[in-house]
């Protein structure tokens, strides 16, 4: 009898950093994590404030609370790798090195924005940094990311695509169409489910079968999965190294379920009445990824209070500068209305 493809490995259900840090986690790396996560948080707070002032319009989905996911994953990637995600995309862009000025200016719809003001919060791209959007249709980024992975393989580049998706997006049919093709053709793609417990106002328990183990969703396709504490940046990085290496070495896709949480409403105009204040407060107090890293840094004497204050100040300056740029950058020239529809044949 023919043997079946090996069943997916079930990596330990919970991956957390033990007190002894893995050897590749240097002090410098920890400091980088801290800077990047703090940059995302401060940037998002600023974006929320600017939305409040009417400088940012439409939908604006903040990433506050989920910072460790993208920062940890990004640290396991190489420059040639690519990523894409949904509309909750500001953190991903900052983490892959896009200029905060250009991101903020796109939020305000100005000519200095990454899409010249024509994309907005949900639609930004940077080929240079390997960032392929910014997608407003729930789940649509998943086959697109699978296609970019297809191109990586076709071009024999040894690059990996990371396709981020929400717990809600995971229920879209096209995701399974992608899982099937990715496994069938052994495409170098890592699917990162950012399980923040909610899709707008619907909890995973109300929307998803077997909702406590979403990382099993690839089982039928032979795709290994793991569930990771997405509030622990070190755990995220260590897990990501396994998944990315798997994809890069030609073994096909990997699914990572990141247990995380968003502190703010779904978008700026969501009062978030579907969960209690206590629930949010508890996560903030017990699991906050930045606070956890701060505690770790102090305990391991990687930095002192004064040093941390300096980083806070530096990050604030970057964010303030981006806010200023986003307000002083001119609106797109009216002639831009008609450009970029077609590429010249």
Partner 1 sequence: MPIEILMPALSPTMTEGKLSRWMKNEGDSVSSGDILAEIETDKATMEVEAVDEGVLGKILIAGDTDNVAVNTPIALILEDGESDADLNGYSAAAPVTRPAAEQVVESSAPAPVSVSGPAVEFVAPESEWNGSFTKTTVREALRDAMAEEMRRNKKVFLMGEEVAQYQGAYKISQGLLDEFGAKRVIDTPITEHGFAGLGVGAAFYGLNPIVEFMTFNFAMQAIDHIINSAAKTRYMSGGQVSSPIVFRGPNGVASRVGAQHSQCYASWYAHCPGLKVVSPYSAADAKGLLKSAIRDPNPVIFLENELMYGTSFDVPDTDDWTVPIGKAKVVRPGTDVTIVTFSLMVGKALDAAEELAKEGISAEVIDLRTIRPLDTETILTSVRKTNRLVTVEEGWAFAGIGSEISAIVMEQAFDYLDAPVKRVAGVDVPLPYAANLEQLALPQSSHIITSAKEVCYRS
C-beta separation of 225 from 10 below 8 A: yes
Using the rule CB under 6 A, give the single segment among 4-12, 164-172, 288-296, 321-329 that binds ligand TPP: 164-172
| Partner from Mg ion, partner 1, ligand TPP, none binding residue 318, C-beta < 5-8 Å depending on class | none
Applying CB under 8 A, among 30, 98, 170, 181 the residue interacting with partner 1 is 181
CB atoms within 10 A of CB 154: 11
Show the CA angle centred on residue 62, arms to residues 74 and 314, nearest 5°. 65
| Partner from ligand TPP, Mg ion, partner 1, none binding residue 266, C-beta < 5-8 Å depending on class | ligand TPP
Question: In the window 198-217, what residues touch Mg ion (CB under 5 A)?
Answer: 199
Give the nearest distance from C-beta 262 to ligand TPP in angstroms: 6
Q: Is 230 in the site for ligand TPP (CB under 6 A)?
A: no
Q: Is 58 in the site for ligand TPP (CB under 6 A)?
A: no
> Residue 267, by phi and psi: left (phi above 0), alpha (psi -120 to 50) or beta?
beta
Give the nearest distance from C-beta 1 to ligand TPP in angstroms: 40
CB atoms within 10 A of CB 54: 7
Q: Rounded to an integer, what distance in angstroms lies between the CA atom of residue 205 and that of residue 128?
A: 39
Question: Which residue has its beta carbon closest to ligand TPP?
Answer: 166
Q: Rounded to an integer, what distance in angstroms lies between the CA atom of residue 175 and that of residue 325?
A: 38
Q: Is 196 in the site for Mg ion (CB under 5 A)?
A: yes
Instruction: Render the burial of 327-336: b for 16+ CB within 10 Å, e for the rest.
Output: eebeebeeee
Question: Is 156 exposed, middle or buried (CB count within 10 Å of its CB: 0-12, 13-18, 19+)?
Answer: exposed
Give the nearest distance from C-beta 132 to ligand TPP in angstroms: 17
Give the nearest distance from C-beta 192 to partner 1 in angstroms: 16
CB atoms within 10 A of CB 50: 18
Closest to partner 1 by CB, 1 vs 341, is 341
Give the nearest distance from C-beta 157 to partner 1 in angstroms: 9
Closest to Mg ion by CB, 139 vs 166, is 166
Unique residue bearing structure tokens 């994953």:
73
- String of contacts with ligand TPP for each residue 118-157, x by CB under 6 A: ------------------xxx-------------------
Give the nearest distance from C-beta 58 to ligand TPP in angstroms: 13
């Amino acid at each position: 009898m023919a043997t079946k493809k090996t069943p997916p490995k079930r990596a330990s259900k919970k991956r957390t950093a033990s007190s002894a840090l893995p050897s590749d986690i240097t002090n410098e790396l920890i400091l980088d994590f801290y800077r990047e996560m703090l940059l995302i948080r401060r940037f998002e707070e600023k974006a929320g404030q600017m939305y409040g002032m009417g400088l940012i319009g439409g939908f604006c989905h903040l990433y506050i609370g989920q910072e460790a996911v993208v920062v940890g994953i990004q640290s396991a990637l190489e420059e040639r790798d690519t990523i894409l995600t949904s509309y909750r995309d500001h953190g991903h862009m900052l983490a892959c090195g896009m200029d905060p000025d250009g991101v903020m200016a796109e939020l305000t719809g100005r000519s200095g924005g990454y899409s010249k003001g024509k994309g907005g919060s949900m639609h930004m791209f940077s080929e240079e940094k390997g960032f392929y959007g910014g997608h407003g249709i729930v789940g649509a980024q998943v086959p697109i990311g699978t296609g970019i992975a297809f191109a990586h393989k076709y071009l024999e580049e040894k690059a990996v695509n990371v396709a981020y998706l929400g717990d809600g997006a995971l229920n879209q049919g096209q995701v399974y169409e992608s899982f099937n093709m990715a496994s069938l053709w052994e495409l170098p793609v890592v699917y990162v489910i950012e399980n923040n417990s909610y899709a707008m106002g619907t909890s995973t328990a109300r929307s998803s079968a077997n909702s406590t183990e979403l990382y099993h969703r690839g089982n039928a396709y032979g795709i290994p999965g793991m569930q990771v504490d997405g509030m622990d940046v070190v755990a995220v990085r260590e897990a990501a190294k396994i998944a990315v290496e798997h994809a890069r070495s030609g073994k096909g896709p990997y699914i990572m379920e990141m247990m995380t949480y968003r502190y703010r409403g779904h978008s700026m105009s969501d009062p978030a009445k579907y969960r209690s204040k206590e629930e949010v407060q508890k996560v903030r107090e017990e699991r906050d990824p930045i606070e956890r890293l701060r505690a770790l840094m102090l305990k391991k004497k990687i930095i002192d209070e004064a040093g941390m204050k300096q980083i806070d100040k530096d990050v604030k300056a970057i964010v303030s500068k981006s806010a200023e740029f986003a307000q002083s950058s001119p609106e797109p020239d009216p002639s831009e209305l008609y450009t970029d529809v077609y590429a010249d044949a």
